[in-house]
Amino acid sequence: KTTKWRTNTSYFHPSKEPGLIPGCINLSPCWFQQGHENPLDGFIPEVSAALKGDSGLSSIIDMQRPALLSSAALRVMHPQLYRASMSTHVALGQWAAAHGEDQMYRCLQHWASAYSGASIVCNRQSPGHRDPKCPPEGFDILTCIGSYKHAVMNLTNLGIDLLYNPGVMVSYSGRLVRHGVRVGDGDRIVWAWFMRDSVHNYAGTP
């Protein structure tokens, strides 16, 4: 099904590097589980599953350098969104402390990105799609590393194809731009930094 492309194994290519596992994980110190984003239903934000447990905090600390780089890029490209996101971060930290959400509070203390979440994706080719849970005014940032070549990003509704070489950073509105990636030869890892409307709305951030 087109709605299952994010986890469909046919879109993930085998790795050439030993120990590199194709797949995707989502990391966020504070977000709503899929389909549970209406606070009127009594749902509250929580730490993403990949960050729960003893290893979660060490994972956040390990990713602080790329988190700071993405934040610096956003600060230059979209200062207003950067300030709104940092305000959200502070408000969520205060909420977590007031409600005894100790794990979330610790994660937020060490979360160095202005973005509310990150996906780390290995060797995936994605069909054309949008990211409807991202704010239309917001910029997602994708950073690619690896040994691959001949990858192309299609911005379908703009009619643009971009070379997507290792080391490239791409920023775009995930809700407004329909995009997909065709992967060439080799191993490719992407850091995808994103924000979610529901998190900003829960914190009451314009």
Question: Do the beta carbons of residue 132 and residue 150 sit within 8 Å?
Answer: no
List, as one string, the DSSP characters of 28-58. Answer: -SSBPPTT---GGGT---B--GGG-STHHHH
Percentages of the chain per state (helix, strand, coil), in multiples of 5: 35, 25, 40
What pLDDT is recorded for position 79?
94
Structure tokens at 84: 């709104």
Question: Do the beta carbons of residue 122 and residue 187 sit within 8 Å?
Answer: yes
What pLDDT is recorded for position 8?
85
Nearest residue to 125 (alpha-carbon basis) of 1, 2, 8, 3: 8
Nearest 5°: the CA angle 52, 125, 128 is 100
pTM summary value: 0.88
Nearest residue to 32 (alpha-carbon basis) of 50, 24, 49, 44: 44
Summarised one tens digit per residue, pLDDT across range 102-157 is 999 999 999 999 999 999 999 998 888 888 888 888 888 998 899 998 889 999 99
Separation of alpha carbons 144 and 166, rounded Å: 5
- Any idea which residue has 């799609």 for tokens? 129
Summarised one tens digit per residue, pLDDT across range 170-197 is 888 888 999 999 888 899 999 999 988 8
Summarised one tens digit per residue, pLDDT across range 17-73 is 988 999 999 999 998 765 556 656 666 888 999 999 888 999 999 999 999 999 999
- Any idea which residue has 């070489």 for tokens? 165
Q: Which helix H or strand E contains 193, and what residues bound it?
A: strand 188-194
What pLDDT is recorded for position 43?
66
Longest dimension (CA), the chain: 50
Summarised one tens digit per residue, pLDDT across range 84-102 is 999 999 999 999 999 999 9
